[in-house]
Structure 1
Amino acid sequence: MTITRSILLFVVAALAEIGGAWLVWQGIREHRGVLWIVGGVLALGAYGFVATFQPDPSFGRILAAYGGIFVAGSLLWGVLVDGFRPDRWDVAGALVCLVGVALIMYAPRG
């Protein structure tokens, strides 16, 4: 159950951070306005709170592992929201990052 909770928290954190960055991008680069930027800033703030609910007590470990989630999630966001088509190297890199997440977060320690 702890691993499932951790993965769900990573997914929620990714949605908040990637979604927030996307909203700021839309507000500034696509000239959608201040409300988009404010929404993005709020979502980015929410990301910071979500990360604190991870069961592991190590900030460095959580943030390092989240980096891999961010990489894979960003590519997936691009596919689903922006019509981005990753090439095989994008996919391979994201898979390497996800393996890194698994090693950092869920490898047995003793």
Structure 2
Amino acid sequence: MATIGWYLLAALSEIAGCFAFWAWLKLGRSPGWIAPGLACLILFAVALTRVDAAHAGRAFAAYGGIYVACSVAWLWLVERQVPDRWDLLGSAVVLGGAAIVLWGPRAAA
């Protein structure tokens, strides 16, 4: 799978895992949400380690932009709250930053 695919899987898994706890603790859902939430968080960690990056810090930094954009998509698609222009602008800014971190030219080591 390509780097962007691993990032998207990581983001979806992390958001779903965290949302499971949100549903339990903030929306009054059953504690039965914990097990799938934990499974999603484990999948998130595994997916993020599959990203093609030489250093964890750079992979995690770039992931931050993907996470923000996917969270805004989650807001819209799952929570049925239409993102406003600030959500969209913020997502575009962090995606630009993620691209710079991940694919910016590097001096030869």
Question: What TM-score, normalized to structure 2?
Answer: 0.91
Which ranges of structure 1 fall in alignment gaps of 5 or more residues? Answer: none
Which residue in 2 is equivalent to 1:75? Answer: 72
Q: Where does residue 3 of structure 2 map in the other structure?
A: 6
Determine the structure 1 residue equivalent to 2:22.
Answer: 25
Q: In structure 2, what residue type is equivalent to 1:15?
A: L
Q: TM (normalized to structure 1)?
A: 0.90
Amino acid at match of 2:5: L
Displacement of 1:47 after TM fit?
0.7
Structure 1 equivalent of residue 13 of structure 2:
16
Shift of 1:106: 1.3
Instruction: Please say if residues 24 and 38 of structure 1, whose CA atoms lie closer than 8 Å, have aligned partners that are also in contact.
Output: no
Q: List, as ranges, runs of 4+ consecutive aligned residues in structure 1 with deviation greater than 3 Å.
A: none
| Correspondence list, 1:68-107, <5 A | 68-107=65-104
How many residue pairs were aligned? Answer: 107
For the Cα contact (< 8 Å) 1:79–1:86, is it kept in 2?
Answer: yes
8 Å contact 1:13–1:51 — kept in the other structure?
Answer: yes
Q: Percent same amino acid at aligned positions?
A: 37
**Superposition deviation, residue 27 in structure 1:** 1.8
